[in-house]
Chain A
Amino acid sequence: MTGVRNALRVALRNGKLVAGLAVVLALLLTALVVPATIAYGPNEYVGPAAAPPSAEYWFGTTTFGQDVFAQFAYGLRATFLVGLLGGGLAAVIGMAVGFTAGYRGGLVDEILNMITNIVLVLPALVVLLIVNAYLGVRDVGVQALFIGLTSWPWAARAIRAQTLSLRSRDFVDLARLSGMRTPGIIVREIAPNMSSYLFMTFILLFGGSILIAASLDFIGLGPSQGVSLGLMLNNAARWSALHLGMWWWFVPPGAGITAVVGSLYVVNVGLDEVFNPKLREM
Chain B
Amino acid sequence: MLRLDGVSKIYRAGPFGGRELRAVSGVGFEVNAGEVVSLIGESGSGKSTIGRMVLRLASVTEGTITFDGEDVSAIRSPKAYYRQVQGVFQDPFSGFNPIFAADRVFEMIRREYFPRVSRAAWRERVESALAGVRLDPGQVLGRYPHQLSGGQLQRMLIARALLLDIRLLVADEIISMLDASTRVDVLNLLADLRSRGLGVLFVTHDLSLGTYVSDRTVVLRRGRIAEMGPTERVFGDPLHPYTRTLLDSVPRLHVKWAERRDEERAGRTVCPFHDRAPGTPVRGDLAEPEKDHHVACAGPGACPAAEEPEFRQPSAKERV
- Asked if chains A and B are in direct contact (CB within 8 A), the reply is yes
Chain B residue nearest to A176 in the complex (CB) = B57
Q: A171, B99: Cβ atoms under 8 Å?
A: no
Q: How many residues of B contact A (CB 8 A)?
A: 33
Q: How many angstroms between the C-alpha atoms of A170 and B160 in the bound complex? A: 14
- CB contacts under 8 Å to B, within A114-167, are none
- CB contacts under 8 Å to A, within B24-74, are 55, 57
Q: Is A275 located at the chain interface by the 8 A CB criterion?
A: yes
- Chain B residues with Cβ below 8 Å from A107 are 16-17
- Chain A residues with Cβ below 8 Å from B235 are none
Q: Is A244 located at the chain interface by the 8 A CB criterion?
A: no
The one of A176, A179, A193, A277 in contact with B146, judged by C-beta atoms closer than 8 angstroms, is A277
Q: A277, B95: Cβ atoms under 8 Å?
A: no
Q: Is A105 located at the chain interface by the 8 A CB criterion?
A: yes
Q: B144, A169: Cβ atoms under 8 Å?
A: no
Within the complex, the shortest CB–CB distance from A156 to chain B, in Å, comes to 17
Within the complex, the shortest CB–CB distance from B182 to chain A, in Å, comes to 19
- Chain A residues with Cβ below 8 Å from B160 are 174
Q: How many angstroms between the C-alpha atoms of A68 and B98 in the bound complex? A: 49
Q: B86, A177: Cβ atoms under 8 Å?
A: yes
- Chain A residues with Cβ below 8 Å from B94 are 169-171
Within the complex, the shortest CB–CB distance from A3 to chain B, in Å, comes to 7
Q: A168-B316, A174-B105 are in contact. Are A193 and B98 (CB under 8 A)?
A: yes
- Chain A residues with Cβ below 8 Å from B300 are none
Q: B108, A175: Cβ atoms under 8 Å?
A: yes
Q: B95, A171: Cβ atoms under 8 Å?
A: yes
Q: B97, A178: Cβ atoms under 8 Å?
A: no
Chain B residue nearest to A180 in the complex (CB) = B112
The one of B15, B83, B89, B101 in contact with A3, judged by C-beta atoms closer than 8 angstroms, is B101
Q: B78, A179: Cβ atoms under 8 Å?
A: yes
Q: How many angstroms between the C-alpha atoms of A133 and B91 in the bound complex? A: 57
Q: Is A44 located at the chain interface by the 8 A CB criterion?
A: no
Q: B82, A174: Cβ atoms under 8 Å?
A: no
Q: B91, A170: Cβ atoms under 8 Å?
A: yes
- Chain A residues with Cβ below 8 Å from B112 are 178-180
Q: A170, B95: Cβ atoms under 8 Å?
A: yes
Q: Is A106 located at the chain interface by the 8 A CB criterion?
A: yes
Q: A107-B16, A177-B55, A179-B78 are in contact. Are A277 and B144 (CB under 8 A)?
A: yes
- Chain B residues with Cβ below 8 Å from A276 are 99
- Chain B residues with Cβ below 8 Å from A174 are 87, 89, 95, 105, 108, 157, 160
- Chain B residues with Cβ below 8 Å from A176 are 57, 78
Q: B87, A177: Cβ atoms under 8 Å?
A: yes
- Chain A residues with Cβ below 8 Å from B202 are none
Q: Is B273 located at the chain interface by the 8 A CB criterion?
A: no
Q: B86, A275: Cβ atoms under 8 Å?
A: no
A interface majority secondary structure? helix
Chain B residue nearest to A275 in the complex (CB) = B99
Q: Is A15 located at the chain interface by the 8 A CB criterion?
A: no
Q: A171, B146: Cβ atoms under 8 Å?
A: no
Within the complex, the shortest CB–CB distance from B149 to chain A, in Å, comes to 16
- Chain A residues with Cβ below 8 Å from B96 are 171
Q: Is A254 located at the chain interface by the 8 A CB criterion?
A: no
Q: Is B113 located at the chain interface by the 8 A CB criterion?
A: yes
- CB contacts under 8 Å to B, within A19-37, are none
Within the complex, the shortest CB–CB distance from A1 to chain B, in Å, comes to 10
B90, B94, B144, most chain A CB atoms within 10 A: B94
Q: Is B109 located at the chain interface by the 8 A CB criterion?
A: yes
The one of A173, A189, A275 in contact with B87, judged by C-beta atoms closer than 8 angstroms, is A173
- Chain B residues with Cβ below 8 Å from A169 are 94
Q: Is B180 located at the chain interface by the 8 A CB criterion?
A: no
Within the complex, the shortest CB–CB distance from A105 to chain B, in Å, comes to 4
Chain B residue nearest to A7 in the complex (CB) = B99
Q: How many angstroms between the C-alpha atoms of A121 and B55 in the bound complex? A: 41
Q: B99, A110: Cβ atoms under 8 Å?
A: no
The contact string, 1 if C-beta is below 8 Å from chain A, for chain B 298-320, is 00000000000000000010001
Q: How many angstroms between the C-alpha atoms of A171 and B82 in the bound complex? A: 15
- Chain A residues with Cβ below 8 Å from B101 are 3
Q: A192, B113: Cβ atoms under 8 Å?
A: no
Q: Is A278 located at the chain interface by the 8 A CB criterion?
A: yes
Chain B residue nearest to A110 in the complex (CB) = B16
- Chain A residues with Cβ below 8 Å from B83 are 179
Q: A174-B95, A277-B146, A278-B146 are in contact. Are A180 and B320 (CB under 8 A)?
A: no
Q: Chain A interface (Cβ within 8 Å of chain B)?
A: 3, 105-107, 109-110, 168-171, 173-180, 189, 192-193, 275-278
Known: A173-B55, A173-B89, A277-B99. 17 other contacts (CB 8 A): A3-B100, A107-B16, A109-B320, A169-B94, A171-B96, A173-B57, A174-B157, A176-B57, A177-B55, A177-B87, A178-B112, A179-B78, A179-B82, A189-B97, A192-B97, A192-B100, A193-B97
5 examples of A-B residue contacts, CB within 8 angstroms:
A3-B100, A3-B101, A170-B94, A176-B57, A178-B113
Task: Give the top 5 A-B pairs by smallest Cβ distance, nearest first.
Answer: A179-B79, A105-B320, A170-B94, A170-B95, A179-B112
Q: Chain B interface (Cβ within 8 Å of chain A)?
A: 15-17, 55, 57, 78-79, 82-83, 86-87, 89-91, 94-101, 105, 108-109, 112-113, 144, 146, 157, 160, 316, 320
